[in-house]
Amino acid sequence: MVQLPLPAPASPGGGRFGVVLGIDRHRLAEVARRHGCVLVILVRHGQYVPSGGALAAVHGGTVPSNDEVVRCFHLGRGRTMYQDPAFGIRQLVDVAIQALSPALNQAGTATQVVDRLVDILLRLARQPWPTGLFVDDDDVVRLVEHRDDWAQLLSLSFTEIEIDGAGSPQVTRRLAAAYDRLEREVPPDLAAALAPRRAALEAAVAHAGRVDPQLALAPDPLGMG
């Protein structure tokens, strides 16, 4: 295996670096086909890659030039939702946890964020999930990319809201209702990921110790109305 990095700077302040905004997967697969190899993408959308940071690993065949591979990555200054849907979830979660800060204490805003997160997760669960494998015209795998699975996006959506909202029955009841709905409506293989979320919510409520757990964990789509 050979790793292909961004070119290291020839002088202080030189070189290329930045946040991964987009990846031309078709072009990378074609590069791999020409060289008879398999390329494995080592970075994720939204990740900051410094000069000299590894972008991809080469398995088998001949090794493409750094330039061939680097041209397939679009780097920029800040994360965007282009090819990076998890960033949209991240932004919604940030709204919720900011609303739950002691300075604001707007539990109603957090519950509205949960509404949107549930909708996003349901939409994703109803679609065929990407494998992260890309083939050439002969159906030979030429490119491998890590893709977040549904359980990872579920955790991204709710972990921090569980922690910061544990003392608010408005939030915890809305989360309990969200988990009920997701469990009912997503395929069984995805629904299994809800059990750790329920356990985490129960543990957070117990740790907060501010509200009777029976009240705090009673599912309610409106939280407390």
Pick the CATH number of 2-76 from 3.40.50.720, 3.90.1170.30, 3.40.50.1000, 3.40.50.11540: 3.90.1170.30
Please give the C-alpha separations between residue 41 and each of 23, 30, 103, 205, in angstroms, as whole numbers: 9, 14, 41, 40
Quick check: 103 and 42 in contact, CB under 8 A? no
pLDDT at site 104:
84
Q: What is the Cα 27 distance to its own chain's centre?
A: 24
Quick check: 178 and 118 in contact, CB under 8 A? yes
pTM of the model: 0.88
- Report the chain's mean pLDDT, rounded to a whole number: 92
Q: What percent of the chain is predicted at pLDDT more than 70?
A: 96
Residue written as token pair 């979320």: 197
What gap in Å lies between CA 33 and CA 22, rounded to an integer? Answer: 21
Q: What is the per-residue pLDDT across 98-139, written as a single tens digit (0 to 9) for each?
A: 999 988 889 999 999 999 999 999 999 999 989 999 999 999
